[in-house]
Structure 1
Amino acid sequence: MNPIDPHHEAALTTTGWTVLARLIRTDLIDALVDALAPSLSLRDDIRRRNGVLENSAGTLHHLLMDSACYVDLLAEFNVMEPLFKAFFGGNFILNSYGGVINERGAHAYVQKVHRDIRFGSDSRRFMLNALVMLDDFTLENGATHILSHSQNQPEAPDDDRFYTQASRATGERGSVLLFDSRMWHAAGCNTTSQPRRALTLTFTSPFFKPQLDYARLVGYSDLARRDAWLRQVIGFNARVPESLEEFYVPVEQRSYQRGQD
């Protein structure tokens, strides 16, 4: 992969969002598309059993270990490490790994105007969204609405203002939409006969709790074969020790490593 153009860093700081065109290779996108439907079926079965299926059409959560291709995608994100570090002012970890299958007539919570973190800071940014386009994102199939420069606007805009002023994040499959998680946004309505699919990942400062314990989900047995990027981003460097034996160890063996602030 080529280095990321510096203008993306400037766009995240000012406008609050940017699209990295055709970043992910086609064969990996194809594998992710094939994996998505079985992943949705698994989650719908659980939600149905637990009575929480309503208003969740086409939404998926915590995909990381469903298939090797999901880990492969996270490994591909290493090309964005300098951009992410500039955004956070340091290290970061995976906070959530989800997906959306947006179909015509579907109703899901992601279609409401919202933002993904409820607080902010003038001096530090805590969360970044990364949306991977598994299909072309067009105005017709529900490309994301996003209100530029809204990262410092704590109050939700009314729907009329939002949909009048919001931009549309269009792009070709394999592109990645990055945006400050304080941005007000909403999934668009798909008016076509084909699904519009995406993966939705978020990243946070390492001291935030991830939405699932990804380090434990992946497991510690193969930790030595994970490269430095995956160890960091999955959260292996920001764990809480489970015992005094884990706490009293040499610095390089600590569950919570230096630089995770």
Structure 2
Amino acid sequence: MKNKFAYSKADLDTFDQIMNEYGWIVYEDALDVDFVDEINNSLDAAYEIRRQIQIKNGIGENMKGTLHHLVERELFTFKFLERKYCADQIRHFLNGNYILNSLGAVINTKDGSPYVQNIHRDIRSYTGDYKVMIQLMIILDDFTLDNGATFLLSGSHKQENKPDDEYFFKNAERAIAKKGSIVVFDANVWHATGKNNTDKPRRALTMAFTRPFFKQQLDYPRAIGYEFGKGLNENLRQVLGYNSRTPENLDEYYQPVEKRMYQPGQG
């Protein structure tokens, strides 16, 4: 089943048109299969680490199959960001420099009912025409109706109030997409993960990019290390948030421009 929102390529005018009207678009064949398999092969171990913490902290019940903050030196993170998938679209949508707000994953299984199956949007405050956040969903297994392809309510990025369940599931469309595709959507779009009725996992990366002044869900520069960041190229330093940090003390605050933690051009 071909998704009517799917493109192999789309110029920025087409991107604007589709995003303005519907709020989401699919780019097919964005990632090569070998890289997708590399990502998939890393998820089980990463999930076990996070799952133990979820259970220890008493939030395991509705977190099953969810992995948050996969920004680690040993993972695929840097390779993914260096390839600049949809970078032109992100920069265009956010009107300039941007940073990674969050990078996680969902392993949707038949016995799971995580919170992402609830109707939600990924930005807490409705921002209307002022674009602050854009989402990328990296398709790691074919998304089908049977295995829980995500519901997206087209046009709901223009709607502040949450739709009721009956209206949403009657009118939402499904992100039918092949492995290696990228679904790009406005963070204001109301959506929900579908129920997986198959015996195989349905996996995806979930990413949010924001204008640099928007607070990250996790302090990635501090988590990865300030010293480690000095060895990264300028693109990775920008996207990971090294150019838009908050000073901790007066000594960090009172610095010449080139050494400031919040650099020029960050909005």
Call closer, same or farther: CA 1:79–1:40 in 2, change over 3 Å. closer
Give 2:66's aligned amino acid. T
Q: Secondary structure at 2:166's aligned position in 1?
A: helix
Checking the alignment, whether the CA contact within 8 Å between 1:190 and 1:196 is kept in structure 2 is yes
* Matched length: 259
What is the alpha-carbon distance in structure 2 between the residues aligned to residue 184 and residue 246 of structure 1?
40
Query: Are 2:53 and 1:54 aligned?
Result: no
2: CA distance, partners of 1:122 / 1:102: 30
> Over residues 94-141 of structure 1, what are the superposed CA-to-partner deviations in whole Å (9 max), with x where a residue is unaligned?
111111000113111000111111323344111111111111111111
Is residue 2:43 matched to residue 1:36? yes
* Correspondence for 1:216 among 218, 222, 227: 222
Superposed CA deviations along residues 161-182 of structure 1, whole A, max 9, x for unmatched, are 1111111111111111111111
- 1:150 lines up with 2:156 in the alignment: yes
Structure 1 equivalent of residue 252 of structure 2? 246
2:193 aligned with 1:178, yes or no?
no
Whether the 8 Å contact between 2:108 and 2:202 is mirrored in structure 1 is yes
Inter-CA distance 28–50: structure 2 relative to 1 (3 Å threshold): same
- Write the letter of the residue equivalent to 2:77: Y
Alignment correspondent of 1:27: 34
Q: Is the 8 A contact 2:229 2:237 kept in 1?
A: yes
8 Å CA contact 1:3–1:79 kept in 2: the answer is no
Query: Which deviates further from its counterpart, 6-15 or 194-203?
Result: 6-15
Q: After TM superposition, where is structure 1 displaced by more than 3 Å over at least 4 residues in a row?
A: 2-5
Q: Is the 8 A contact 1:116 1:182 kept in 2?
A: yes
Matches within 5 A, 1:95-110: 95-110=101-116
Query: How far apart, in 2, do the equivalents of 1:122 and 1:111 lie?
Result: 24
- Letter in structure 1 aligned against 2:262: Y
CA contact (8 A) 1:4 1:79 kept: no
Residue of 159, 173, 176 corresponding to 1:167: 173
Whether 1:132 and 2:138 are equivalent positions in the alignment is yes
SS in 1 for 2:151: strand
Question: Are 2:18 and 1:16 aligned?
Answer: no
8 A Cα contact 1:127 1:202, kept in partner? yes
1:249 shift after superposition: 2.3
Does the alignment pair 1:93 with 2:72?
no
> Quick one: which amino acid aligns to residue 247 of structure 2?
P
Q: What are the ranges of 5 or more consecutive residues in structure 1 without an aligned counterpart? A: none
TM-score, with structure 1 as normaliser? 0.94
Quick one: which amino acid aligns to residue 204 of structure 1? Answer: T
Question: Which residue of structure 1 lines up, in the alignment, with residue 79 of structure 2?
Answer: 72
Identity across the alignment (%): 42
Q: For 2:235 and 2:74, how far apart are their aligned partners in 1?
A: 19
Q: Structure 1 residue 66: deviation in Å?
A: 6.3
| Runs of at least 5 residues in structure 2 that lack an aligned partner in the other structure | 1-7
In structure 1, C-alpha distance between the alignment counterparts of 2:265 and 2:73, rounded to whole Å: 30
Give the drift of 1:17: 0.4
Residue 9 of structure 1 deviates from its aligned partner by 3.5
Q: How large is the Cα RMSD of the aligned pairs?
A: 1.7
Q: Alignment partner of 1:189: what SS?
A: coil
CA distance in 2, matches of 1:48, 1:68: 23
Mapped partners of 2:263, 2:120: distance in 1: 34
